[in-house]
Each structure stands twice: as structure tokens, then as C-alpha cells.
Structure 1
Amino acid sequence: MPHFPQTNDPMLVPQRFPSQFSMQTPGAVGGNLGQDPLGVQSKQLMQGPMVKLTWTFPSLPEEPVQPEIPFELRNPLSPNSVGAQCGENSVYVEVMEDFFGTGQLLMASMVYTPQEYSNGVPIVRSSGAVVSIECHYPRMHNVSSNVLVPTWVPYAATKVAVERLVFSLKLMTDEWLFERPSNQYFLGDIVNIEASVKTYNHVPLRVFVDRCVATVSPDVNSAPRYSFIENNGCLVDAKFTGSSSRYLPRSQIDKVQFQLEAFRFQQANSGLVYITCILKAVPVATATNSEQKACSFSPNGWVSVDESDQVCGCCDSTCS
């Protein structure tokens, strides 16, 4: 750097460069770096922008907002792919190969565990399943956990079972909905009679009218007397008198309904008729036979209200 003499004159300010060196601008004519003895490149003073910048950083596009839509997760429906039929000593089972109803066929096994696909694909498209099948059978006889010493049914057990059976014989209205509030009838009327049994702790029972007799007094052995159901359930009034008396189809298995045309005894002036019937009930599983039946007489012969009419074949003779 050149040496400048020091002075105390306030008007003289030390200069960093000699005055004969003027500032050069990059576009000035005659500017030549080779002519700058000090090798200093001239600079231009930076000034602020003349127009305000409007550029900003780009932002990501906003995703459209999905509107609310009604949606409810549907639970899969049971494909009903297992069927079972219970027998007395065996169970017959059928299982559809499309067990879940998804088109994925299963191996024939009651306990099914899904296996991976071949070629090492570690996925399955079904779940394991175990199907339990139970068969429930009605009891045919009284069952107890205690050992019964005698081989016969004790009288006490029979007595208790009989006491829990409640039989009823009612006069019913024409609609068969209610018990008839009056027991007065006129000749030509139809008497609707319903026999029933309440089972309580017993297995389901079917009730029968074994025999019925009409008398002029409460004594069943008095005379005159008229037996209009006999021979273990044969309603003979239609056969003897040509009436329309008959059994009706069963509305319930523990009830039996029959219609009887009103009548009077020719030699009695009181107009009273007492009807006494013997009822019995047997398990529903027991088939009807000549001793357990309800038969009506028709122009085409005897007709049963339960099963085959063949059980009524003995009504013209002696059933038992």
C-alpha cells in the first residue's frame, strides 16, 4: 500500500486509493482488467428490487372431502349347510362342501381346520369350524336317578302319576272357544262336548273317550240308559238313530271334540239327562289301535279322527 503523510487538517481524509484510479463498472467502455495496476475489479452497488416479488413456495394440492354416505356393515348370513336326522340309535348328517357359502370347498371332516394354499402361499380364506349336533328324545316312561329295586312299577308311583293327570268334560259354545254357561238344550240342538287332559309333568298325551252313557239320574247303572259311545271309542249314535252325531278333527292332541244331537228319554217326564264318560290318555308316540281310537259312523263306513280308518274296523263287532 502507498504511504500517505499524516496531517491534522480535518478537511483532508486519508484515501484508500490514489485519486487517479477511477471506479470501473462492468459495462463501461475501455474497462480492461489488464489496465488495473492493482488488480482490483470494480463492483456495482446492489439495490432493492423495483417490483414486489409475488412468488411463493409451491403447496401440495388439497384432497377433496368425501361426503358422508350411508353404510352399514352386513353380517354374513348362515349358509344352512349342515343337516342332521336323528334316529333311534344313529344320526344321519349331511354337510355341504361349500360350508361357508363362499365358494371355498372344504375337506370331508366334521372338525375342519383350513390349510394353506399350495405353492407356499401362507393365506387361507376360511375359518375353522366345529359343528355340534344334539338329538333330544321324549321320555317314554318315568325316569329316576335312583335304582328301582322291584321289576314292576310300584303302586305309589302309579298313584302319583295318575293324580297329576287332570281330565275334564265340558259343554262348549258353538265356536268351541268357551265353556257353555247353560246346560239347557231343545230338541234339534247340537250338544258340543269337549274332553281334554292336562299333562303337567307327563310326556305329551292323546286323550280318548272310551265310552259314554246317558241316564235319567246320576246313577250310571240306573234305567233307562243309553250308551252312545262304546267299544273303546265308537260313537254309535249316528248308526243307531241316523243322527249327525260325530267326532270333529282334533284341534289339539290333548283334546277330542264330538257333537251329539239333543234327545230325551221317552218314558221320563223330567227332561233331565245325565252323561257319564270314561276318558283315557296315552302317550302321543303310541299309535292308535282297536283299544285307543275315536271313530265316527258315516254313510261310507267308520272314520277315525287320528290315523288309519282300519282301527275302526271292529266297531261293528267287539273291539276288546
Structure 2
Amino acid sequence: MELTYAGLFLLLFCSAYSYQFRSGSGYGRFVQDPELEWERMEKVIGEEMPHEAPAPETKFWRSASGGSSIPEAKKVPEYVIVPASKVQKEVFKPEKGARPLPNSIKEMLLAASATTAGEAAKPKLVDILCHVDRMYVRIKREAFKTREAYKYLKLGTCPVNQGNTAYYYLLYLLKTDCGFKKENTVDYRYVSNMLHYKPPGPVLREMPFDIPLQCKFPRFFHSFKVGLYPKLQGGTVFRALQPKSSFTLTPQDASGNEITGAKTYILGQPMYFEVKQPEGTAKSGDQRMYINKCFTTASKDSSSHPKYTVIDNQGCMVDGKVTGQSKFLSGSSKMVQKFSVGSLIFKNAVSTSSSSQQLYMHCEVLLGKLSPTQSSKACNYDPATKKWKELYNDDSVCTCCESTCSSPQTKASRNIISSHSWKIDLSSEDGYTEVDPRMKSLDTDTFSLEDPDLTEHEDFLKYWEHDY
């Protein structure tokens, strides 16, 4: 029973001895065995940090006749770490061929070691380990005369956080708030701190001290090899380009909804278009959108032929004299211009083997002042009065539509924009292709304005009996 109590007492004593350093573990690195952690970091640092390696040993054969040996070659290190500020970069620049080393480089490589062979290693009372993210310090307990010396020992502002029978340990990461100071130079990165010992009380049994500690890391590692030829990797870099125009020309249905997919119209059916600026574009309250010219082609290329002009003469809906379906349409914003055009095809492009024809719309647009002029306007043809009328303002600017309207002073703001394609169905009701298609007539008894696709036929029916 007495042995059991003695074992429990010894266990409690050892726990209390190790716990005295755990109070500060929240400030640094707490490990079960600080000496094992120290040895682990020594191994890590030894593997990571470069060392000046000696040249490999070379064996020489003795002469068979005279017995004399060839003089031993001068041993030089395989490489030497040299501060960047002392490196002559031009000397190590790779180039074709060979040249002698300058004297300064010879001295650098053949420099004698500064260590003395017979110098005895002195035992260290304070050891320090430096790594890229931490600083470890250990001090021999025999350096102190008092049992609680660890209480007054600090690394900067951080206390001892580990200990055993031989050492006090201060194991801290550099991100810990211990007062680490960091400095960068051309050649090195320095991390420094101060090891303080400040025993209290009216008497002293050992002297207080402040020991400066510093970790030194080389910042650059250079490797040079004659005949090193860099290989340039080619490639293509893609960059999103700004669109050529700041406007869009969009086909729409009769309700004003954008047609995003493929669209096929029946010959003579009205088509609707909208010209506007993209969303998020800055708009001015004293400007208005104008369409100077619009034409249709069978090719995506706006300069291709044949072409059919629907808007011309700086904003005159010339196709409105042919069909009442072609007109400028008013809207809630003058920064958006809508118009409708009666669907059409190119007669010369019709063949007996084709059931449809693909077309494109191209328009020249610009921004101008709110008040229209002869060079920027939106004029519809009124078949009742046989006159031209401006969509919003004074009709006098449209009088030139029967002749030649003046062009704008500058052409820098003009933009040619194109819509995506659509198709015109050439098939008749019996399934055969008409070689010479004509406009399909409508029965006035079955005509209804409630059909949005047929609303634009109102003018056509109203003036049907008039011969123009």
C-alpha cells in the first residue's frame, strides 16, 4: 500500500513539474517532448538549407617506375554561397565557347577556410534554431542558481513555454506577438529579438542580461551553367475586344420581344427591328437615336450584292412608299428606335430547289440632338396626303425626302450594324415552291386587328382601292 501511495506521489510530482511551463503554451509551441521537437527542427533545417559541398575526392595512382606520386589537386567547393551584392553578373552570363576566369572569381572560389583546425568547441549555454516561420531558443538550466529562473526569462515579451531537466525552451512561431523585428537587405533577410533575464527582489544571485538574437536567411540562390539556352514557350493570348459599334440591331416580334433563335417569316409578313445601345451604356438626356440608312442583303457581308434599301436619304423610310408595313415606330424612349419592314426576297436568288431564303438587315445609325434636322430624322410616308411626316417633331425636315437630304457635318459618329439572319418561307400551301412568288392577298372578312402580327396590315387594307 505504501508503494502505491509513493507511485501516485511521484506521478503527481512529474505532472506538476511539466505543467509549470504549460501556462505559457498559449503563446507559442507546446509539444510533449521539447528536445525531440528541437532535434526534428535541426534535421529539417539541415535538409533545407544549402551547404558548401567539398569537391569529390580524387585518387591518384603512383608511378610504377619512380614511386613518386602526382601532386594532389587543389580542393575547391562544388559551389559557394555569395552575397548578391558581390556577384559580378556579367562574368557569369552564359555564352558560347570558353574564356578564363577573372582573378576576382578565382579568389572567391579558392579562398582558404577561416576556421582553425585545432580550435576546441566551446559548450554553448544558449542555442538558437532559425526557420522560415519560427525561432527556437533553449538555455541550459545550469546557467541559473535559482529554481524559478524560468519565470523571469523571456524571448522579447514571450515567456518560457517548455522545459526539462537540462534546458529551458522558448519555442515560438514568428507570427506570434513576441516583438520579432524583420529586416530585408539586398543579400539577406534578418529576424531578430532579445533574450531577457530580469530576476526581481532586493538581492541578486545571478546577473540580469539581455542577449540579442538574430536569424539570417540568404534571399537569393543563383545557379550558373555554361551552355544554358532558355527555351521560349510560344502561345496565343486571347483578349476580348470592344465591339466595333456601340449599338445593336435586334429582330423582334410584334409584341416587342427579342427573337433570339432562328426565325422564319412568310412572304409579306411584317418584320420588326429595334436599334439601341447596350445595357449599362451612359445615356444623355438631350440626345436621340437616328437611323440614316437600312438595307437588306442575302449575305452577312454588308458590302455584298444584291441589296435592297428600306431606309435612305438620312432617315427617310423609302420602302414605306411601296408597302404600308414599312415604317418607323414610336416608343417611350427616343434613345431606342424601332421600325417595321414587310418581308421580301431577292427574285434573282430564287430557284426551284429552294424552299426558303436567308437574309440580313444592315443599318447606319448615329446619335444626334433631340430636335431633328434634314441630316438626322425619322420620316414616314403618309399615303393619304402623299407627304412625309417626322415621327415626333416638325414635318418640314422631311421635305427633302423626295430629293436629296443634306449629310451630317461629321461622319465619325456613324455606325454600320447588322442583325442576325432570318429566313423567308417560299413554300405555298400545297407544298410546291413558287418560282415567281407574289404577295399573298388577305380576305377582308377574316382580317382582325386583335392579331398582333396582322396589325400592321391596317394601312394596306385602308388604301387598297387607291392606285398609286
TM range (shorter): 0.3 to 0.5
Would you tell me which structure has more helix in proportion to its own residues?
2
TM-score when normalising by structure 1: 0.45
TM-score when normalising by structure 2: 0.31
Larger radius of gyration: 1
